[in-house]
């Protein structure tokens, strides 16, 4: 059985479902709805669709007190057409009765002073828009004095210029409104710092070497505010220098998994505390999904909604409930501000989510457009420097089998390059099955070479305890060796085959696994022994992080350029700093573009393996 078709990533796939910050409750639980007289003429509620990813969307309501007395509570009601519904919500308690939806403030955000506003959001399904809006029982547009008055549109994402140690100049394009725009609120890290009538503002008294996020919100002549613009990350000058790799450094790329923030408790800040951030060159953020012919969000909560406390945050600053962007995306933005050399790519697919590629490549241009629209969403466009396509596997079998033909990969990469252009990175993670007639032979990787920047060759998971009885074998052999269970299943032959198919050496990265694979019931120390099943792992049988194995079962042998360990009746294979160093030497001799690894959380707290890759590639 081809081990390149086995679930190397399912061990991380369990996601927490407790990330939603509000639950849908029965309508009967709602009490104390306001009467029309309470606030009908002194408050407004405006709606915007913040994002749409095909299979769902994010909606956002903003309630503003336009009166002269404080509101003590608010309730927004609306109707959705049949087929459109709320699936989760935050910063409000949302209920439904048929197609009628009601949102009520939570305990901490019900009080609104004159001129104050508050927003709440939700994820939904369907394509409909809200109608029949009521705020505290009255009109959402503030009453009969401004009937039908719509809120302004979002201004353009501000541009930053003239950045100094203590100031930055911001400029933006105008919002539109049916009655006219009166002025603009300038938001720094989600808090209003100024209101101006023009399209520019210079913020002063800032701190040197510090990260800030700016956005803008328009207000119309009725004092209604529209949706917030996209955010612009700014780092003031001074305050230290980026210690990252110098010019011309080989690629040292690591995968960061969005689900790692749950059970693994691994966050972007760990890249800083481990010392890895200054040594890597690129991050692949995994994963976005591929559904219905489109790139879609993988985990909305982890990606852009999870609120980080000060101690969890890259810059030591806590997220606020109303800031435009939270979650991993905002943490990556902060990381890039401190380490400007790092480039971040959004990786789509992976073992579990590769089933959608076959449908997507039936219309490569439409697929590329959907991916571009998501990666370049104004809320996080500055976070990402390109896209990585992790299709397991084109015209071959992984978790599912694809029959899209040998040209499908080339067609996909050509469309992606055409859409993303020369200034964005376009890469792919690919099989390392170099067997005759195997997965490398199934697709035109050489023909696609003009369109991608590099391939991440997954030179790991060749062998593992899915073959429960063995024979035991290293999961990431650099070369073949006597007794290897499958010809063509090693790194050297995979790299050689890609070169033979016309892929330049500099467009190939060698893959390193930050974990081991193992069996139990093994009596033989050397490879080739029999087993009774997979060894026990922390998250899944047959697999364990390097940071655990280095202490629980230290390596006591090497084969084919990688390490193995026989401890009691367990047999594990994994890479160590020593074997990684030797593999990097081999990669340099082959003229490869560098290396990549799966994934950060398997390394030690001080980044031993990342350091070995970095030092080995110098």
Is 376 tagged catalytic? Answer: no
Which residues, at least 6 apart from 239, have a Cβ–Cβ distance to it below 8 Å? 165, 207, 208, 209, 210
Judged by DSSP in three states, 11 sits in: helix
Upstream peptide bond of 320 is cis (omega within 30 degrees of 0): no
Question: What confidence score (pLDDT) does residue 24 get?
Answer: 38
Domain residue spans of the chain? 3-16+249-513+576-617, 31-139, 159-235
Beta-strand pair 191-196/181-188: antiparallel
Looking up tokens 């976070």 gives 383
Tens of pLDDT, residues 349-389:
999 999 999 999 999 999 999 999 999 999 999 999 999 99
- Among 49, 55, 61, 50, CA closest to 22: 61
Given 392, 544, 599, 608, which residue is catalytic? 392
Phi and psi dihedrals of 386, rounded to 5? 160, -165
Question: What confidence score (pLDDT) does residue 219 get?
Answer: 87
Question: What confidence score (pLDDT) does residue 16 get?
Answer: 34
Q: Give me 209's structure tokens.
A: 């070497």
Extract the residue ranges of the chain whose pLDDT is less than 70.
Answer: 1-41, 142-149, 238-247
Pick the CATH number of 159-235 from 2.60.40.10, 3.40.920.10, 2.40.10.10, 1.10.3720.10: 2.60.40.10
According to CATH, the topology of domain 31-139 is Immunoglobulin-like (2.60.40)
Q: Give me 435's structure tokens.
A: 């067997």
Instruction: Let me know how long the chain is.
Output: 618
Neighbours of 423 (CB within 10 A): 7
According to CATH, the topology of domain 3-16+249-513+576-617 is TIM Barrel (3.20.20)
3-16+249-513+576-617 and 31-139: identical CATH topology: no
Question: What confidence score (pLDDT) does residue 498 get?
Answer: 97
For every residue of 384-399, DSSP letters joined together read -SEEEEE-S-TTSBSS
For residue 289, what are the CA distances in angstroms to 292, 364, 369, 391? 10, 16, 15, 11
């Amino acid at each position: 059985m081809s081990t390149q078709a086995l679930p190397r990533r399912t061990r991380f796939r369990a996601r927490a479902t407790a990330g939603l910050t509000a639950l849908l409750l029965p309508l009967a639980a709602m009490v104390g709805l306001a009467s029309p007289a309470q606030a009908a003429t002194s408050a407004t509620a405006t709606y915007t669709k913040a994002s749409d990813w095909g299979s769902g969307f994010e909606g956002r309501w903003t309630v503003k007190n336009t009166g002269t007395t404080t509101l003590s509570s608010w309730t927004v009601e609306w109707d959705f057409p049949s087929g459109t519904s709320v699936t989760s919500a935050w910063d409000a308690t949302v209920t439904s009765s048929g197609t009628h939806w009601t949102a009520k403030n939570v305990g901490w955000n019900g009080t609104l002073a004159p001129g104050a506003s508050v927003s709440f959001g939700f994820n939904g399904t369907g394509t409909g828009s809200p109608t029949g809006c009521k705020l505290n029982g009255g009109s959402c547009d503030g009453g009969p004095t401004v009937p039908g008055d719509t809120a302004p549109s979002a201004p353009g994402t501000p541009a930053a210029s003239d950045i100094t140690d203590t100031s930055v100049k911001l400029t933006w394009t105008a919002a539109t409104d049916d009655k006219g725009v009166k002025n603009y609120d300038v938001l720094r890290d989600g808090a209003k710092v100024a209101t101006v009538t023009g399209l520019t503002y210079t913020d002063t008294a800032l701190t040197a070497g510090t990260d800030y996020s700016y956005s803008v919100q328009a207000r119309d002549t009725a004092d209604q505010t529209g949706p917030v613009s996209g955010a612009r990350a700014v780092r003031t000058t001074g305050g230290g220098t980026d210690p990252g790799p110098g010019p011309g450094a080989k690629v040292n790329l690591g995968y960061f998994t969005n689900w790692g923030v749950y059970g693994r408790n691994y966050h972007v800040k760990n890249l800083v505390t481990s010392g890895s951030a200054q040594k890597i060159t690129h991050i692949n953020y995994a994963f976005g999904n591929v559904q219905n012919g489109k790139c879609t969000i993988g985990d909305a909560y982890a990606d852009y909604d999870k609120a980080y406390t000060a101690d969890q945050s890259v810059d030591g600053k806590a997220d606020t409930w109303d800031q435009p962007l939270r979650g991993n995306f905002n943490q990556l933005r902060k990381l890039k501000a401190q380490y400007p050399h790092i480039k971040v790519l959004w990786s789509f697919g992976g073992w579990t989510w590769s089933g959608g590629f076959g449908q997507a490549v039936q219309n490569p241009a439409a697929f590329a457009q959907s991916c571009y629209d998501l990666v370049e969403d104004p809320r996080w466009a500055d976070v990402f420097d390109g896209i990585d396509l992790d299709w397991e596997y084109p015209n071959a079998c992984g978790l599912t089998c694809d029959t899209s033909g040998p040209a499908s990969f080339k067609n996909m990469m050509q469309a992606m390059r055409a859409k993303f252009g020369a200034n964005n990175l376009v890469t792919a993670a690919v099989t390392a099955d170099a067997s005759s007639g195997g997965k490398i032979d199934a697709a035109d990787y050489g023909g696609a070479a003009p369109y991608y920047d590099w391939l991440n060759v997954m030179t790991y998971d060749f062998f593992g305890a899915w073959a429960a009885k063995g024979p035991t074998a290293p999961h990431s052999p650099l070369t073949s060796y006597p007794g290897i269970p499958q010809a063509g299943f090693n790194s050297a032959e995979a790299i050689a085959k890609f070169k033979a198919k016309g892929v330049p050496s500099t467009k190939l990265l060698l893959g390193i696994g930050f974990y081991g694979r193992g069996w139990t019931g093994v009596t033989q120390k050397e490879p080739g022994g029999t087993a009774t099943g997979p060894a026990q792992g922390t998250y899944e049988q047959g697999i364990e992080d390097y940071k655990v194995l280095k202490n629980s079962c230290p390596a006591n042998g090497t084969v084919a350029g990688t390490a193995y360990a026989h401890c009691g009746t367990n047999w594990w294979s994994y890479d160590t700093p020593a074997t990684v160093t030797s593999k990097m030497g081999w990669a340099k001799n082959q003229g490869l573009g560098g290396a990549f690894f799966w994934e950060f959380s398997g390394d030690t707290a001080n980044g031993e393996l990342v350091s070995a890759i970095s030092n080995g590639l110098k």
